[in-house]
Amino acid sequence: MIDKINIRVYGICIKNQAVLSLHEEYAGEFLTKLPGGGLEYGESVIACLKREFSEELNVEIDVVKHFYTQEEFLVSRFRENEQLLTIYYLCEIKNEEDMLIIDPCIETAEWIPLTKENPFPLPIDNIVFEKLKQEYL
């Protein structure tokens, strides 16, 4: 039975036709994902995104514009009782020279070319990668 909604906010950083991606282990699964994470109570989606970039990568961002909000119903692959809602924004990193992985779950950060095969195992990230290809290639 679904009794929770988990709102996730992710940032899309594009440079030289590549997207900033994180490689991390979560719940025993190795994932390639976009920077970002869960909205906390009392927090705006923009504040969430800025906090996540700071906590994960030690950088500040400017949020440029909304890119995509998940349109279909999705149950979390990690918690059967949670419905997910994911929101994506295009972002620019203000201080890329300060980028440092702070979150111990993140193994590496990588700029993945949009010309590569879709590397994202999570279904909405997968959709977003295809939309980025359409827009930037």
| Mean pLDDT, rounded, of the chain | 95
What is the four-CA torsion angle of 69, 72, 78, 81, rounded to 10 degrees? 110
Q: Give the whole-angstrom CA distance, residue 134 versus residue 5.
A: 30
pLDDT of 99 reads: 97
pLDDT of 27 reads: 77
Closest CA to 31 of 69, 78, 66, 70: 78
The two structure tokens encoding residue 9: 């906010």
Average pLDDT over residues 28-51: 95
Can you give the pTM of this predicted structure?
0.94
| Phi, psi angle pair for 59, to nearest 5° | -125, 160
Whether 32 and 92 have beta carbons less than 8 Å apart is answered as: no
Under CATH, to which class is 4-136 assigned?
alpha beta
Strands (E), 42-130: 61-69, 82-93, 106-113
